[in-house]
Structure 1
Amino acid sequence: MKLVADNISVGLEKKTILSDVGLEVAAGEFVGLIGPNGSGKSTLLKSIYRTMKPYAGWISLDGDDVYKLSAKENAQRMAVVRQESSIEFDFTVMEIVLMGRAPHKRLFQQDTEADHDICEEALVRVGMETYASRSFFSLSGGEKQRVLIARALVQQAKFLVLDEPTNHLDVRYQLQVMDLVRALGITVLAALHDLNIAAMYCDRLYVTKKGQMVANGTPEQILNPQLIRDVFGVETEVTTHPITGKKHVYFFSESCRIKQSPQEVSKAQ
């Protein structure tokens, strides 16, 4: 499933949020979207999954305009895990996950044994199988996030949109979820805050700043101290991790610098 977003411009209350933004995600590719808060990452994703329609530009999945697909057709092709939960009424965890099977059903069709098997497998994959009968509202933020990822998995779509998928997750589950998504072998577009997660899992990165796309390339090309300074306004040291072979970013501020004596500074120079 290939995604193309071409010359996308999005506005809200006469204010332009995105201006002439474009990206492509090839079939089976895992692409990350990085940038500071307010740079337009979530807005771009919302335009792709059809909750914030652009006033200019074109978005397609395998050549079909996403805004011309029916809701059911779109849901069969694209699954979404949003940054915030839109669930207003309480359900059990299993009921939430079963909602992901809706695109594969006729109107009023009941859940089948096969549907339950698919959902149980998804809950196992995100480590939530013992929570199936629990109230969704009783869960922690991280637990809710894992349930919503399970709901997206059972859609069995070939394109997955993730808006900060590791939000609220502790380190173990961050890695577990990203390993899981990567192993699916489907097309993925994910907005990510953690640059080291992006470096470890993404094939390519797009960088947003102030509503525009300012760079794109592999993590090796993108993650360098100059670009990170220009986009995020922080100082870094970027190395190649000896175990993973991936780029690894170390962040520091002036207050965290190791204090050097004048003799050490002179010697370093």
Structure 2
Amino acid sequence: MTTPLLDAKDLTATANGQHLVQAVSFSVAAGDRLAIIGPNGAGKTTLLRMLAGLLQPSSGEVRLSGRRLDRIAAAERALHIAVVGQTDQPDPRLAVIDYVELGRVPHAGLGRRGEEHDIVVDALRRTGLLPLLGRTIGSLSGGERQRAQLARAIAQQPKILFLDEPTNHLDPRARSELLELVAGFDMTVIAVLHDLALVAPFATRVAVMNKTRLQALAGPREALTQQLIRDIFGVDVLRLRHPTEDRELTVFEVPNRASSPP
């Protein structure tokens, strides 16, 4: 039996006597793109932080390639895990190429200088930032800054890329483009997403959190069911044929309660 790349067992987190996450268990295989969704307060970010080793669970454990994550030194974990968080604030004075080079810090002394430079340039190319390598972070648009954070993470060459609501503060087109870019990385990705419309085009599997517990874990179509999404988010799921393309559209619509009885 193949060992999962990441295996979470009975993860629980508490703070001030309150449960933030309760008894969550699942595994992630190499190449998965797992979207973690749920309403505010469901425990999504807390779960992501435990999976990435940024927060020690109150109980339960996470294993990376069969090894207890909490027994892997932080320096070694950085060779395998990259995190792009909601509150990352790069120094606006840094040049883009200098910022992306920070992704190579965990690998310091492990490779030749020329190889290190090639890895950074490749990360810039893959994120479309090569023409902007000399610009400062502070001069970039919101979407370009998000791409710079992704480039830094890619330069880290992790086994797993963690993203915490990476499309926040982006316009609808930039959101779709960013996740389409990530999906093309051929990398294991675990992402907290709050925009339900972005989930199906991006994810291979979906973990639905509700009231600090894992409510469902399945492929996008099986996870985004009418009943489950209405129960948890209070919206309807509509699946329609695209009017001009041979594909299905998934639309999330707030139910019209005007005609409902009081």
Structure 1 CA distance for aligned equivalents of residues 219 and 94 of structure 2: 41
What is the match of residue 61 of structure 1?
Answer: 64
Q: Does 1:233 align with 2:234?
A: yes
Task: String of CA shifts for 1:213-255, please: whole Å, max 9, x gaps.
Answer: 1111111111122111111122342346574645612313428
1:34–1:191: 8 Å Cα contact kept in structure 2? yes
Identity %: 37
Structure 2 CA distance for aligned equivalents of residues 175 and 132 of structure 1: 23
Consecutive unaligned residues of structure 2, counting only runs of 5 or more, are none
Structure 2 CA distance for aligned equivalents of residues 96 and 34 of structure 1: 30
In the TM superposition, what is the alpha-carbon distance from 1:33 to its structure 2 partner? Answer: 0.8
What is the match of residue 98 of structure 1?
Answer: 101
Equivalence map 1:1-269=2 (5 Å): 2-87=5-90, 90-106=93-109, 112-239=113-240, 243=245, 245=247, 248-254=250-256
Aligned-partner SS, 2:190:
strand
Give the count of matched residue pairs: 255
What is the match of residue 264 of structure 1?
Answer: none
In the TM superposition, what is the alpha-carbon distance from 1:165 to its structure 2 partner? Answer: 2.1
Structure 2 CA distance for aligned equivalents of residues 189 and 240 of structure 1: 29
Task: String of CA shifts for 1:83-121, please: whole Å, max 9, x gaps.
Answer: 221546742221111010111113xx9982332232222
Aligned-partner SS, 1:99:
helix
Aligned-partner SS, 1:5:
strand
Structure 2 CA distance for aligned equivalents of residues 54 and 198 of structure 1: 27
In the TM superposition, what is the alpha-carbon distance from 1:197 to its structure 2 partner? Answer: 1.7
2:92–2:139: 8 Å Cα contact kept in structure 1? no
TM-score with structure 1 setting the length: 0.85
2:103–2:156: 8 Å Cα contact kept in structure 1? yes
Is the radius of gyration larger for structure 1 or structure 2? 1
Task: String of CA shifts for 1:134-185, please: whole Å, max 9, x gaps.
Answer: 2223333322211100000011112111111222333443333323322222
Q: CA RMSD in A?
A: 2.5
**Letter matched to residue 237 of structure 1:** L
TM-score with structure 2 setting the length: 0.87
Structure 2 CA distance for aligned equivalents of residues 219 and 55 of structure 1: 30
Structure 2 CA distance for aligned equivalents of residues 47 and 240 of structure 1: 39
What is the match of residue 262 of structure 1?
Answer: none
**Letter matched to residue 216 of structure 2:** A
**Letter matched to residue 163 of structure 1:** D
Cα distance change on mapping 1:224 and 1:68 into 2, 3 Å:
same
2:162–2:189: 8 Å Cα contact kept in structure 1? yes
1:228–1:236: 8 Å Cα contact kept in structure 2? yes
1:234–1:252: 8 Å Cα contact kept in structure 2? yes
2:234–2:254: 8 Å Cα contact kept in structure 1? no
Q: Which moved more, 1:207-216 or 1:125-134?
A: 125-134
**Letter matched to residue 99 of structure 2:** I
Aligned-partner SS, 2:134:
coil
**Letter matched to residue 254 of structure 2:** F
1:224–1:238: 8 Å Cα contact kept in structure 2? no
1:93–1:147: 8 Å Cα contact kept in structure 2? yes
Consecutive unaligned residues of structure 1, counting only runs of 5 or more, are 260-269
1:101–1:115: 8 Å Cα contact kept in structure 2? yes
